[in-house]
Structure 1
Amino acid sequence: MCSPPKAVIFDLDGTLVQTRESSWKVFSPINSRHQLGIDTAEQFYELFAHNFFGSLRRACGDPATADVVTAEFMQALNEHYSPTMVPGLNDVVTAMVPHSKLAVLSSNTTAVVRRILRQNRLEYCFAHVFGGDVEPDKTIGIARFLADAATGSGRMCRAYYDEPSDSASDVGGETGPRDVVLITDTVGDVEAAVSAGIRAVGVAWGMHTEEQLIAAGAEFVAIWPQELLAYLYSDAEPACGGSCATRHADPPSASVREASRSAAEVRHDRRRRTAAKFAATSAASAVTTSALATPALAVSARALNRVPPPVTARVDDRLLAAIGRTMR
């Protein structure tokens, strides 16, 4: 079992949101207009077996048609693509926030990612977003994330970023490839993660099956969203070995290892304190909501400015408690 990840990269389509029917409805008119021969949803889904944009360009034949089709598809996604969130993943994402930097790596456009995250009030839970219009090659996107992730800054579902301490040990060398997990529903993404030298965890509710994802190199496939928390944040040995050992990570020097350990301890303590405050705020809001069960009392109390309005969206207490137990 590996140690809890310091950074988690989510794929969007099919992982965070339910995408199969929504994406096919957007693509189908484009296929008909250009007579690409991708006439069924199943044929469209096969494009995700490897890098989607590469598969789409090969299906188009000549480069000129590929450029036009890609541009039309991206524009159609911006205008018409509106998938729903996978049930349960809102709570899973917010439960991960105190313990890992979060990012989104998607073939979709940045505008679509922004719209979906804002609609689900998750936009400030992610520190980085790489859309297909920013970086269409996910292997390169992962490399860019790794190059920038060593700053150690994440987000706590608030607009500002964590500010690292002034300690020299808190800057650089903190996040290595084996500390990063890509969560995805496609074989192509798993292959990109393996190629980049990071861990890959699959989800069974998207494009590809559990068997396909495992065969491609995923170390685990979640059947339910809550399994991601149990698998990634359960107690683990300090050394990460076995199925999650990466293929391309060079062994660090003793000085780098010591700096990494020091940086991890500083970051871990900072996030533990933040998580405790987060839990206290959630508990206080629950008490407030319970005490103001009568609508008339709630209205009168707010009118007198004695209490804030009840919180309508907060982390599931059971998920928060489960995560808390893993951090002791």
Structure 2
Amino acid sequence: MKDDMNKLVIFDCDGTLVDSQHMIVSTMHDTFSELKVSRVSDLAVRRIIGLSLEEAISELQPSFSQQDVKDATALYKNRFYEKRQAEGFKPDPLFPGCREAMEELSNRGYLLAVATGNSHRGMQRVIEQHALNDFFVSVQTADFHPSKPHPSMINTALSDAGSHKDLAVMIGDTKFDTIMASNAGSQSIGVAWGYHGGQELLDTGAKHLIEEYHELPDLVDRML
């Protein structure tokens, strides 16, 4: 019975919890430069944030063979790691109000989860850097699932949390999040501070759009 199941709020990471665009964009440019392939625009890179890395590279370089994609993926991961190990590196910041909103949702009895195009290692790093360990009952990453917008990550989070698609809402900044939620049969809320425009999120299935994190707890109350 759904009455006995938990209510679940599922967050995307990049562009929703943390502002990671500068690191992702610069590393993608470094990767393509080293491979001596055509440079893509910053906007094009921001548009693919949220996809799994291999899917993102395929979108940006459609002429790449499957092996080219694998090679570029490995190079990107190496360059990304090197940047993070560099002296003076500062972690990608949480968006303003993020922690407070998650604390309030938890206090109201909601369970929280993550569904991200990040790798497991990358997501765990974000969790540790920002001391988010106690927030999430389920963390779903791209290395164990098909790329968004396939609903696999949401379906697994629902199972982990003892929830139901009707009792869950996805919070995200890209159409990959809103379409993934629709594919899973769940609702979604778009955030206006991320990498796809607010109207695009509404057009691809978001029920609501928030401008700031403090709006989220009361909106979730009304939806679930």
TM-score class, shorter: 0.7 to 0.9
CA distance in structure 2 between the partners assigned to 1:38 and 1:190 by the alignment? 29
| Structure 1: segments with no counterpart, 5+ residues | 151-174, 241-328
Give the match for residue 152 of structure 2.
140
Structure with bigger RCO (C-alpha 8 Å, 6+ apart): 2
User: Structure 2 unaligned runs (5+)?
Assistant: 1-5, 85-90
2:85 matches 1:84: no
Report the CA distance between 1:132 and its aligned residue. Answer: 2.0
The Cα offsets for residues 175-216 of structure 1, whole Å up to 9 and x where unpaired, read as 220111110001112111111111111101010111110001
In terms of fraction of residues, the more strand-rich structure is 2
Q: Which of these two proteins has the greater Rg computed from alpha carbons?
A: 1
Give the aligned partner of residue 31 of structure 1: 32
Amino acid of the structure 2 residue aligned with 1:197:
G
Cα gap change, 1:96/1:189 in structure 2, threshold over 3 Å: closer, same or farther? same
Instruction: Calculate percent identity across the aligned residue pairs.
Output: 25
Taking a change above 3 Å as real, the CA distance of residues 228 and 38 of structure 1, as seen in their structure-2 partners, is: farther
Q: 2:193 aligns with which of 205, 209, 214?
A: 205
Change in CA separation of 1:192 and 1:36 when aligned onto 2, cut-off 3 Å: farther
Paired AA for residue 37 in structure 1? S
Matches within 5 A, 1:151-162: none
Deviations 1:12-57 (A, max 9, x none): 0000001222211222100211244343211212324876642422
- For residues 214 and 120 of structure 1, the distance between their equivalents in structure 2, rounded to whole angstroms, comes to 30
Matched residues in 2 for 1:80 and 1:209: separation?
29
Q: Which residue of 1 aligns with 2:169?
A: 181
Q: Which amino acid aligns with 1:102?
A: L
| Contact 1:185/1:213 (8 A) holds in 2 | yes
Is 1:71 equivalent to 2:74 in the alignment?
yes
How many Å apart are 1:65 and its aligned residue? 0.5
1:76 CA drift (Å): 3.5
Q: Distance in 1 between matches of 2:189 and 2:52?
A: 17
**TM (normalized to structure 2)?**
0.84
- Give the Cα–Cα distance (whole angstroms) in 2 for the partners of residues 51 and 112 of structure 1: 12
Report matched runs for 1:257-272 at 5 Å: none
How many residue pairs match? The answer is 208
Give the TM-score of the pair, scaled to structure 1.
0.59
Distance in 1 separating the partners of 2:56 and 2:128: 30
What letter is aligned with 1:22? M
The DSSP-based 3-state class of the residue aligned with 1:18 is: coil
